[in-house]
Amino acid sequence: MNTKDLGFNTKQVHAGSFEDQFGSATVPIYQTSTFKFKSAQHGADCFSGASDGYIYTRIANPTIRALERNIADLENGYDGIATSSGMSAVTSIYFALLEAGSHIISTASVYGPARGVLEQDFSRFGVEASFVNTSNLKEIITSIKPNTKVLYIETPSNPTMEITDIRACAEIAKEHNLILVVDNTFSTPFLQKPLDLGADVVFHSVTKFINGHADIVGGIIITKEASLYKKLRHSMVYMGCNMDPHQAYMVLRGVKTLSLRVERNQENAIKVARFLENHPKIEWIKYPGLESHPQFELAQQQMNGFGSMISFGVKGGLEAGRQLMDNVHLATLAVSLGGVETLIQHPASMTHAGVSKDDKLKAGITDDLVRFSVGIEDIKDIIDDLTQALEKV
């Protein structure tokens, strides 16, 4: 079905699906590593590209292709490349777009391992990286060097909830011949479409909102154009970080309700944010949907909603935050985000423990920062849980 001109809700249900010989209503799991050629000539044609038949699951697989086409459609992109995890999407992107002597500019408060792998590993191959506050466009511009190849942004960023202006970054990238990559995990294509705003590559940890049920790990990359798509697919296939067909089936199932879940997630999130903002034991709170957020207006312009991730500090700092985390009952004390269930975690000692203390502070990841991912439960129960836990702090 050509879903290009249909609405988002229709696309998320139907895009990428195909007819099989039995008329399956959902995309079946093609749990096979390899595919039979009809003849020696057909096999040769599949390899040369003269035929588009399937060859081997690391290269492509019908269940995985269905997911890739679905998310590419949701992002208004050319095509998608599904990966085994969000981090393998990140490393495939670095592998494809960087080389010895090249330089990448990235958001300082970027997802911890996306920074760590540049600092600890790609540096060994001669790649340079600068981590700057990309919310401040001047910082980006002054960091550009003759060897800068990639501008990589995460917005809203994790866990500081800072917003970067995607359209302005696209202009800077164009002017300086950089490839603009956007981590759209926190927003999903339902709330933000970076390719429409001028980005070249967008990717997700589908582990989070897109799958939405905290039961698989996966990633996906979508490009605006065919040439970058080819480069990135080559990188994924050669690194061997393909998604598995069963994983793809689970994500196809999850994505069908993406907009419904995100709507409920954020309807709850604004209520949780207002509750926390007015609570006497809360020192500070950052949520793009609050007027107090420094980039509230920019968030309104480039997003169709504010999402469901909240950062806050409890009065009394780290110790008070720990007491809160140890006393919630409904919220699960766990990393990850974007699922149907409410989660709470402490980035400084958990997800961002690998970032040095100095760099954490520069990136705004203070010791008291508590990250809250609001689920789709009844709002009264989420707030009752926070109320009783804050009483014990």
Ligand X SMILES: *Cc1c(COP(=O)(O)O)cnc(C)c1O
User: What is the binding site for ligand X (CB under 6 A)?
Assistant: 85-87, 111, 114, 154, 158, 183, 185-186, 205, 207-208, 217, 219
Minimum CB distance to ligand X, residue 101 (Å) = 26
Partners of 131 in the β-ladder: 106
If you ran DSSP here, which 8-state letter would residue 124 be given? G
Helix (H) or strand (E) holding 313: strand 309-314
Minimum CB distance to ligand X, residue 93 (Å) = 11
Minimum CB distance to ligand X, residue 147 (Å) = 25
Comparing CA positions, the residue from 383, 286, 380, 377 lying closest to residue 328 is 383
The answer to whether residues 195 and 224 touch, using CB atoms and an 8 Å cutoff, is yes
Angstrom distance (rounded) from CA 127 to CA 14: 41
Minimum CB distance to ligand X, residue 56 (Å) = 24
Bridge-based pairing of strands 128-132 and 103-107 is parallel
Nearer to ligand X, 61 or 373 (CB): 373
Angstrom distance (rounded) from CA 166 to CA 303: 10
Minimum CB distance to ligand X, residue 309 (Å) = 9
Nearer to ligand X, 217 or 276 (CB): 217
Nearer to ligand X, 127 or 251 (CB): 251
Nearer to ligand X, 162 or 183 (CB): 183
Cα 373 from chain centroid (whole Å): 14
Minimum CB distance to ligand X, residue 42 (Å) = 36
Nearer to ligand X, 195 or 217 (CB): 217
Minimum CB distance to ligand X, residue 104 (Å) = 15
The answer to whether residues 64 and 242 touch, using CB atoms and an 8 Å cutoff, is yes
Nearer to ligand X, 216 or 389 (CB): 216
Nearer to ligand X, 148 or 158 (CB): 158
Instruction: Give me the helices (H) in the chain, please.
Output: 8-14, 40-48, 62-74, 86-97, 112-120, 137-143, 166-175, 188-191, 226-239, 245-255, 258-277, 296-302, 317-327, 357-362, 379-391
